Structure 1
């Protein structure tokens, strides 16, 4: 039988235990966020002309900083919002019916084939379990704005960082924006990720409207957990997010204290993969994990 003292100690221990849904934003990531907001709009736009809200301005861009990470920003310091995505597996073990309010749910995500290929007993991502980000824009309509993150080194199912509600959440690049609307949209995440940010008031049709969410994508194969680097068959958001925490903690070290605003500069090769794709004259110009082939680090 537990004594009152034991119960109090257990309660205190649980209160102090870190929760996957409430991770504090590290200083370097907070500085990156502040610098991005403070710059007003990004100086190095890879693609622009996107919108965060129906009827809103089409002045949001995919941006790249000096460390090659990619993020979304509008003008006047605005970032992205967070609409809710419920695509993928339906009726799974974590489904609490909040996705049922969505009017545009699709039964498949962009990288379902890769998920199946991992052979972990699941056929696709589950929005109620996997904290995925909808990133990139595809479409074939005439004049429709598109952006392919893969062209800039971002790989499917790679780990991403999301700063939302004064929290840092790790997710994966799990889906893309299609051309099913009149204009190309940005700023969307799975309901499990959005719930970790803003609580259970989130539903399939009720997201976060403020443009203060920072989505950060990391280039290079080292950002991909692969079949055995994440708990793809998890039955809860907490279990999956915990499985990619170490990878996320590693990746955010790329975000220097000076933030991410400026144009690309000559890399210092201070972290693994920094020189991937950069020009080189010899092996000394590349990080130790890359070799100089035909004038580029690969």
Structure 2
């Protein structure tokens, strides 16, 4: 009787499967895996910002003695610029970032961790935005502390947060950790690079807590995908 019951059950199951009333896994055929999109690459982002719709009221210098040549550009959901990279080692004192290693060291950053402490420049990738001026107001543009940024140099891409502000008429600066991740010499006194760094800041975004690089990467990857797919 047991053999007959199993035979009848199998026949009923086959009939239900044929009628579409049982899922495919009942027949031993697994569902196909869900397709997953690859993370956005540096080349895709650079292609999206190949042209500039200038949103700043003027141009920025990359240092005190250079000519003003760098505009802030706008795109749907982001602002961006291409400049040099100076090294910001401000914030919490560490073996790599202090008065002895950095002639311009300041023990604070414009934006703070969730515990109220300054950011740690040698551990957290972050970018520096120019202080508010008649050239450009990052707050009015929807870019505040903790906004997520994609920073690109050569074929390398790192996601960072907006972590500090700098001089009002100079642009192109990021933390020790951001430079290191991009393969740029992070020494605050002698490092950095003279050109070729693209900074893409996503408007209205905010990483919480600001000190979580993992959160910046997760949000950055999502916003980057939306950015390259936008019209």
Q: How far 1:102 sits from its partner (Å)?
A: 1.8
Aligned residue among 150, 154, 160 for 1:165: 154
CA 1:97/1:130 → structure 2, altered by over 3 Å: closer, same or farther?
closer
Gaps of 5+ in 2: 1-37
**Deviation for aligned residue 1:47:** 3.1
**Greater C-alpha Rg:** 2
On the 8 A contact 1:98/1:203 being kept in 2, the answer is no
* Alignment partner, residue 194 of structure 1: 179
- Equivalent of 1:226 in 203, 208, 220: 208
**TM-score scaled by structure 2?**
0.73
Taking the aligned partners of 1:32 and 1:245, their CA distance within structure 2 comes to 15
Which residue number corresponds to residue 207 of structure 1? 191
Output the CA distance in 2 between the equivalents of 1:204 and 1:107: 14
Give the 3-state SS of the residue equivalent to 1:193 in structure 2. helix
Where do residues 65-214 of structure 1 align in structure 2 (5 Å cutoff)? Answer: 65=75, 67-72=76-81, 79-91=82-94, 95-96=95-96, 100-112=100-112, 115=113, 118-119=114-115, 123-138=117-132, 146-179=135-168, 184-198=169-183, 201-214=185-198
Deviations 1:39-74 (A, max 9, x none): 4xx233323221113422202111111x130011xx
Report the counterpart of residue 277 of structure 1 in structure 2: none
Instruction: Give the CA RMSD over aligned residues.
Output: 2.6
Do 2:77 and 2:227's aligned partners in 1 also have CA atoms closer than 8 Å?
A: no
- Are the counterparts in 2 of residues 47 and 63 from structure 1 also a CA contact under 8 Å? no
**Distance in 2 between residues matched to 1:160 and 1:225, nearest whole Å:** 10
What is the TM-score of this pair, normalised by structure 1? 0.58
Q: Which runs of 5+ in 1 are unaligned?
A: 1-23, 73-78, 140-144, 233-239, 259-267, 269-298
Give 1:30's aligned residue.
Answer: 43
Contact 2:89 / 2:102 at 8 angstroms: preserved in 1? yes
Q: Does 1:245 find its partner at 2:217? A: yes
Q: How many residues matched?
A: 194
DSSP-derived class of the 1:71 partner: strand
Instruction: Give the superposition deviation at 1:209.
Output: 2.7
Question: What secondary structure, in the 3-state scheme, does the structure 2 residue paired with 1:244 have?
Answer: helix
1:138-193 deviation digits (Å, cap 9, x = unpaired): 46xxxxx54221101112112111112311101100011135xxxx2100001111
- Distance (whole Å) between structure 1 residues aligned to residue 106 and residue 189 of structure 2: 14
Q: Distance in 1 between matches of 2:141 and 2:175?
A: 23
